[in-house]
Structure 1
Amino acid sequence: MTNHITTKWLGNMAFESNNPSGLTIKMDAGPENGGESNGLRPKAMMLSSLAGCSGLDVASLIKKMKLEVGEFQIETIANLTEEHPKYYDAVTIEYHFHGSNLKEGKLQKAVDLSMEKYCGVAEMFRRFADLEIKTIFHHK
């Protein structure tokens, strides 16, 4: 299967990129790099992609396992190297589950399945970064 994405220069430092969903995303640099901050930063979008990919897996497993989760969020904290080309060499992914009836074992299994078996973005990240996974349960 091949993905084909078109990314068009909008002038100055801004770009617009399409997606198989039919939606587009705008990217831009900050003023410190000649941009106007009118779009998302490309490297930071990689962290959103990582969280989104794994989050979709976990949400699907929550549904399949019929688990009760009030809220679920993923915090992605990455270290950017100082030398060019700058890249993420270490990433911590925190899964936060909130609820009054959290089944910790099953939720941990959902996270493990995503990170070890299903999430292709995590597999790509493993090629260049150390990943640390944390699961945090907030019982109400």
Structure 2
Amino acid sequence: MEFKMKQELGFTTELSFGELHVAGDEAHGFRPFQLMVSSIAVCSGGVLRTILKKKRIDIEDMRIKADVTRNEAEANRIEKIHLHYIIKGENLQEEKIEKSIELARKNCSMLQSVVNSIEVTESFELV
């Protein structure tokens, strides 16, 4: 990946899906912390969806809420991310979903990349 400085603020890079704008100011692009949280949440959700499919657990929909705790005293670093999965489907068993989330945690490369520096917790609800 190559990032090019934009005149006004931030950087851009060209990816296969399109151009990505990254900046400290939301008016000029995605903020770096938003991309990091998005990467962890979406990677975890994608891995979870794959695991559920392999276990033949059909879901209709999944949403993920990510609550972020940042430490302003230390460069506004991300200290904690709580992922809350809202999973819609019929006849879903809490125990199987819980075990699948644990397995997704172990197999999500983005979450594993921050495991010793950012506390990541999960919860879920079935609808």
Do 1:69 and 1:101's aligned partners in 2 also have CA atoms closer than 8 Å? no
Decide which of 50, 56, 60 is 1:70's aligned counterpart: 60
Give the equivalent residue in structure 1 for 2:114: 125
Query: TM (normalized to structure 2)?
Result: 0.87
1:81 aligns with 2:74: no
For the residues of structure 2 that align with 1:26 and 1:132, how far apart are their CA atoms?
A: 29
Decide which of 3, 7, 12 is 1:11's aligned counterpart: 7
Q: What is the RMSD of the two structures over their aligned residues, measured on CA atoms?
A: 1.8
Residues 43-52 or 98-107, more deviating = 98-107
Structure 1 vs Structure 2: percent identity of aligned residues? 22
Quote how far apart the aligned CAs of 1:24 are: 3.1
For the residues of structure 2 that align with 1:24 and 1:110, how far apart are their CA atoms?
A: 34
Query: TM (normalized to structure 1)?
Result: 0.80
Aligned residues: 127
Q: Which runs of 5+ in 1 are unaligned?
A: 31-35
For the residues of structure 2 that align with 1:60 and 1:131, how far apart are their CA atoms?
A: 20
Q: Which runs of 5+ in 2 are unaligned?
A: none
Give SS of 1:12's match: coil
Question: Which residues of 2 match residues 45-56 of structure 1 at below 5 A?
Answer: 45-56=35-46
For the residues of structure 2 that align with 1:131 and 1:43, how far apart are their CA atoms?
A: 14
For the residues of structure 1 that align with 2:59 and 2:21, how far apart are their CA atoms?
A: 32
2:38 counterpart letter in structure 1? S
Question: Which residues of 2 match residues 25-44 of structure 1 at below 5 A?
Answer: 25-30=20-25, 37-44=27-34
Larger RCO of the pair (alpha carbons < 8 Å, separation 6+): 2
For the residues of structure 2 that align with 1:99 and 1:109, how far apart are their CA atoms?
A: 17
Residue 99 and residue 46 in structure 1: after superposition, are their counterparts in 2 closer, same or farther (change >3 A)?
same
**Once the two structures are superposed, what CA deviation does each residue of 1:35-63 show, in whole Å capped at 9, x if it has no partner?**
x6132111111000001111111111122
